[in-house]
Amino acid sequence: MAKSISRSATGSTSKAAGSGAKPVGNLAAKPRRNNGAKSPLAAGAKAVGKAAKKRSAAPKFKPWTAAEVHEAFRRFQEANPEPRGELEHLNPFTLLVAVVLSAQATDAGVNKATRDLFPIADTPEKMLALGEERLRDYIRTIGLYRTKAKNVIALSEKLIHEFGGKVPRTRAELESLPGAGRKTANVVLNMAFGQPTMAVDTHVFRVGNRTGMAPGKTPLEVELNLERVIPPEFMLHAHHWLILHGRYTCLARKPRCEVCVINDLCQWPEKTV
Ligand code: SF4
């Protein structure tokens, strides 16, 4: 059982859910003049009212205190001092390729395909020599493999022609590569070059929102909120701790709250402890 820490009594800035939202309710409450028969307008307004109520039922979180965030990451660190990403790779180039291949696919599925691919194509030159058609054969078990094969060949070409065959070290350059977006850049900057970036995948997005630590409607919002609240000393590994927490403990369908090391800090109203 995770131990409790004392919480600051201040810092609650959450607004009361649904306060001041009246227009839909007023419409539904208009007096009926047809001897009690439900008008389509009133019925429709009621339905809209229900939907609005459901939307406003999204959890409102009290911002985590700095002490709470520090304590959460202290516990993650204690449980797993050197967290590792699970995408197998041999060097920055194969890491970049693995991340590009992992879009909408599992790390395990990508690893299965790249175990045979990377030993023969661990540089942009070798990947180009392999060619798109043969590359497709190696990765055909991965979703969207045709597009991904095209992108990997195109990014290998670009690395050779514009970056001397090396993986660049800046976000802008990484994001300019075919098939690479912000998440890819963040993973490569973090894992290959030791920069304290926060890549938000589906697991990090869920944990950030569910716990209330860094709520956001988009991955970018969650990323920026996490960067804002996580103490610098934990930033290098924070991305892996959160991914592993989401993958093995805070599962999408059945979170394992009973064994969760931050279950006393988590603000999810549906947590099971
Ligand atoms: S208590 Fe449950 S919902 Fe909250 S972080 Fe832990 S596993 Fe996830």
Mutate to test the pocket of ligand 1, among 262, 265, 267, 270 (most ligand atoms within 8 A of CB): 262
Q: What distance in angstroms lies between residue 256's CA and the mean position of ligand 1's atoms? A: 7
Residue 28 has pLDDT above 50, yes or no: no
How many residues comprise the chain? 273
Q: Are 266 and 59 in contact (CB under 8 A)?
A: no
pLDDT digits (tens, 9 = 90+) for 158-178: 999 999 999 999 999 999 999
Q: What distance in angstroms lies between residue 255's CA and the mean position of ligand 1's atoms? A: 6
Lowest mean pLDDT among 17-26, 177-186, 200-209, 249-258: 17-26
Q: Can you tell me which atom of ligand 1 is nearest the CA of 255?
A: 7
Q: What distance in angstroms lies between residue 10's CA and the mean position of ligand 1's atoms? A: 23
Q: Are 80 and 241 in contact (CB under 8 A)?
A: yes
Q: In the structure, what pLDDT confidence band is assigned to residue 58 with cuts at 50, 70 and 90?
A: low
Residue 89 has pLDDT above 60, yes or no: yes
pLDDT of residue 23: 27
Specify the residue with its C-alpha closest to ligand 1, atom 3: 271
- Between the alpha carbon of residue 190 and those of residues 95, 203, 206, 228, the distances in Å are 11, 17, 20, 17
Residue 34 has pLDDT above 90, yes or no: no
Q: Can you tell me which atom of ligand 1 is nearest the CA of 273?
A: 1
Residue 18 has pLDDT above 60, yes or no: no
What's the rounded mean pLDDT across residues 77-91?
96
pLDDT of residue 37: 42
Q: What distance in angstroms lies between residue 188's CA and the mean position of ligand 1's atoms? A: 28
| CA nearest neighbour of 126 among 169, 97, 87, 86 | 97
What's the rounded mean pLDDT across residues 81-89?
95
- Show the tokens assigned to 208: 């950030």
Q: CA angle at residue 175 from 171 to 177, to 5 degrees?
A: 130
pLDDT of residue 103: 92
Which is more confident, 167 or 18?
167
Report all structural domains of the chain as residue ranges with CATH numbers, in order of start: 66-83+198-259 (1.10.1670.10), 92-191 (1.10.340.30)
For the chain, what percent of residues have pLDDT higher than 70? 79
Active site residues: 183, 201
pLDDT of residue 161: 98
- Between the alpha carbon of residue 104 and those of residues 5, 150, 161, 192, 251, the distances in Å are 38, 16, 29, 22, 17
pLDDT of residue 60: 80
- What residue type is 249 in one-letter code? T
Specify the residue with its C-alpha closest to ligand 1, atom 8: 250
Specify the residue with its C-alpha closest to ligand 1, atom 1: 263
Q: Which residues line ligand 1 (CB under 6 A)?
A: 210-211, 249-250, 255-257, 260, 262-263, 266, 268, 271
- Between the alpha carbon of residue 45 and those of residues 20, 58, 61, 83, 142, the distances in Å are 17, 21, 29, 52, 46
pLDDT of residue 61: 86
What's the rounded mean pLDDT across residues 46-58?
50
pLDDT digits (tens, 9 = 90+) for 217-233: 999 999 999 999 999 99
Residue 1 has pLDDT above 50, yes or no: no
pLDDT of residue 154: 98
Q: What distance in angstroms lies between residue 14's CA and the mean position of ligand 1's atoms? A: 21
Q: Are 122 and 95 in contact (CB under 8 A)?
A: no
Enter the DSSP assignment of 43: H
Mutate to test the pocket of ligand 1, among 244, 266, 270 (most ligand atoms within 8 A of CB): 266
pLDDT of residue 57: 57
